[in-house]
Amino acid sequence: MTRSILFLTGTRADFGKLEPLASAARDAGFGVTFFVTGMHMLDRYGLTKLEVHRMAGVQVHEFLNQRPGEAQDIVLAKTVIGFSDYVTEHRPDLIVVHGDRVEAMAGALVGATNYVRSAHVEGGEVSGTIDEVFRHCNTKLAHVHFVSSDTAARRVMALGEPEESVHVIGSPELDFHSGPSGVTLAEVKARYGIGFDDYGIAVFHPVTSEAARMGAQARALYGALAASGRNFVLIAPNNDPGSEAIFEVIEGLPKDRFRLIPSMRFAHFSELMRNAACMVGNSSAGVREAPFLGVPSLDVGTRQTNRAEAPSVVACKATDSAAIARFLDAHWGRRHPAHHGFGAGAAAERFVAVLSQPEFWERGLQKAFRDPV
Q: What residues have CB less than 8 Å from 81, skipping those under 6 apart?
A: none
**204 & 96 share domain:** no
Is residue 305 included in any domain, yes or no? yes
Q: Given the DSSP bridges, would you call strands 313-316 and 297-300 parallel, antiparallel or unpaired?
A: parallel
**15 & 76 share domain:** yes
Is residue 336 included in any domain, yes or no? no
The pLDDT assigned to 142 comes to 98
**18 & 135 share domain:** yes
Mean pLDDT in the chain?
A: 95
Q: Give the tens place of pLDDT for each residue, 45-88.
A: 889 999 999 999 999 999 999 998 888 999 999 999 999 999 99
Strand pairing partners for 119? 96, 144
Quote the CA–CA distance of 150 and 15 in Å, as a whole number.
23
In the chain, the amino acid numbered 286 is G
Percent of the chain with pLDDT over 70: 100
**40 & 137 share domain:** yes
Q: How many CB atoms lie within 10 A of CB 184?
A: 12
**253 & 168 share domain:** no
Is residue 372 included in any domain, yes or no? no
The pLDDT assigned to 257 comes to 97
**277 & 200 share domain:** yes
Sign of CA dihedral 75, 26, 271, 100: positive
pTM (2 decimals)? 0.88
User: Confidence band (pLDDT; 50, 70, 90) for 373?
Assistant: confident
**150 & 192 share domain:** no
Q: Give the tens place of pLDDT for each residue, 275-291.
A: 999 999 999 999 999 99
Q: Give the tens place of pLDDT for each residue, 115-131.
A: 999 999 999 998 867 88
Residue, of 295 and 127, whose pLDDT is higher: 295
Q: Containing domain of residue 317, as a range? A: 185-331
> Rg (Cα) of the chain, in Å, rounded?
20
In the chain, the amino acid numbered 85 is D
pLDDT at 346 over 90: yes
Number of domains making up the chain = 2
Q: Give the tens place of pLDDT for each residue, 300-319.
A: 998 988 787 789 999 999 99
**220 & 351 share domain:** no
Residue, of 128 and 191, whose pLDDT is higher: 191
**147 & 190 share domain:** no
Is residue 368 included in any domain, yes or no? no
Sheet hosting strand 118-121, strand order edge to edge? 59-62, 31-36, 4-9, 94-98, 118-121, 144-147, 166-168
Query: How many CA within 13 A on the CB side of residue 234?
Result: 27
Is residue 373 included in any domain, yes or no? no
**144 & 225 share domain:** no
**326 & 208 share domain:** yes
The pLDDT assigned to 130 comes to 81
Query: How many CA within 13 A on the CB side of residue 69?
Result: 2
What's 210's DSSP letter?
A: G
Q: Given the DSSP bridges, would you call strands 200-203 and 279-281 parallel, antiparallel or unpaired?
A: parallel
The pLDDT assigned to 135 comes to 95
**152 & 210 share domain:** no
Is residue 283 included in any domain, yes or no? yes
CA dihedral 176, 285, 60, 263 (to 10 degrees): -110
